Structure 1
Amino acid sequence: MYLDINSSILDFETSLNTMGFLDLKQERILSIEKPGEGNMNVVLRIRTNTRSFIVKQSRPFVQKYQDITAPIERIDVEFQFYKAITNKAIAPHIPKILAYNADNYLLILEDLGDCKICRISMKIEQCTARNCMNL
């Protein structure tokens, strides 16, 4: 199952419910949007009546340049990275894993919100990880 910005809300609800992530008796998807430009993966922000979260899904190609092949298993590497972060100074600044579905190369992460401030700061000055976290 591939999901993208053109997939219907029903497709997302069905897929996420099948994964056991979304309980359709209590939660419904209100909107699906791109939180920014993803280069490697499909990256979408899902807003429901109770929360928002980020869905990332890898494909056997680079999302931005679909004629370039890429290992579809790369999302598992990202999942393992997030799982491995235990440093108390770093962990609060990266999204928490909410769900992972290896069969569909789908990673669901905590939504850290809109990072426009950091993107603007990066354009104005060379934004380091430290000063972006402090914005």
Structure 2
Amino acid sequence: MAMLGERTLPRITRTAGGYVKGRWVDGEESETTFRASIQPAKKDDYDQLQALAEGRRVESAIRIYTRTELVVAGDTAQNGDLVIHRGDRYLVTAGGDWNVGMRGVDHYRYLAVRQKPTAEEGS
């Protein structure tokens, strides 16, 4: 059974990163697809994300509902999965397992923050 508004989206996963000469370097990126429903973040989500964002200002966030387990930033050396939504990259920064043992209802819910393009990617 599909989730409401579910569609196929690009997902970027990264191998483990590490420090090189004192600077963090992300791992290699690879792109796959997964099925998810994207919803706008709520005010409470922004309040939670501001507390998690280590002093960074959160300008745009989304909720992701999926049956696919994603990597959350800070949980591993991979620095979190990136989800492409409407041409923007969103970093998965929080999430939880909403699997309650009911077939067709089990899913994961994540919060993701839009990433600004780096100088290398352009504006």
TM-score class normalised by the smaller sequence: 0.3 to 0.5
Q: Higher relative CO (CA 8 A, sep ≥ 6), structure 1 or 2?
A: 2
* TM-score, length basis structure 2: 0.35
Larger strand proportion of the pair: 2
Larger helix proportion of the pair: 1
